[in-house]
Amino acid sequence: MELNKLIDHTYLKAFGEKDVIVKLCEEAKEYGFKSVCVNPCNIPLAKELLKGSDCLVCTVIGFPLGQNTTETKVFETEDAIKKGAQEIDMVINVAKLKDKDYDYVYNEIKKIKNVCKSLVLKVIIETCYLTKEEIVEACKISVKAGADFVKTSTGFGTGNATVENVELMYKTVGNDAKVKASGGISNKEDALNMTKAGASRIGTSKGVEIVK
């Protein structure tokens, strides 16, 4: 297994100044990471820096709370793709899920997937706020709506990815989607434990440390 090819090399903090994004992209090319995951305002710069490489540009939608309106998330996705994003990581509306307004959650994911078309859509369900039953429900809804991945965490919540939750998500989606583990994965042991649990993508800001 080439661990580097599973890593979304990530920088989503508020201080993503130009030199930070340049360094992120240079590292991604050097170590052969799957993608860089950046805030939407940094898509054009990342696209330019990664030109000619195999590394993809990934961005986040409705990040980090997921509480934007569906219309805003749809526009944000359209704009991101227009600017060069090749993968989309969207945050669900956790409150709507906990209210059991499953139609709302489904329709939002479906509308965003319709914009993504063949581009990969990862749905961040923010496991730290969910019960086991809610994690299962979120995964089922995501699959039904056409998501390509379910993702554990934003990294901005009250908890990070756990092996237990990754295993549950993997068991729930089966062959219908993949699992991305993200949040708090800072070394090779963490990353390998997540892949053993079923993750086929790792979101981390510690990609270099992991592969070294």
- Which residues does 138 contact at the CB level (< 8 Å), separation at least 6? 92, 97, 105, 123, 125, 130, 150
151 catalytic per annotation: yes
Burial 126-156 (b: 16+ CB within 10 A, else e): bbbbbeeebbbbbbbbbbebbbbbbbbbbbe
Q: How far apart are CA 141 and CA 84, in angstroms?
A: 27
CA atoms within 13 A on the CB side of 41: 9
- Of the candidates 151, 178, 190, 206, the residue annotated as catalytic is 151
- Of the candidates 8, 89, 148, 190, the residue annotated as catalytic is 89
- Of the candidates 73, 113, 178, 180, the residue annotated as catalytic is 180
Environment class of residue 69 by beta-carbon count within 10 Å: exposed (0-12), middle (13-18) or buried (19+)? Answer: exposed
Catalytic positions are 89, 151, 180
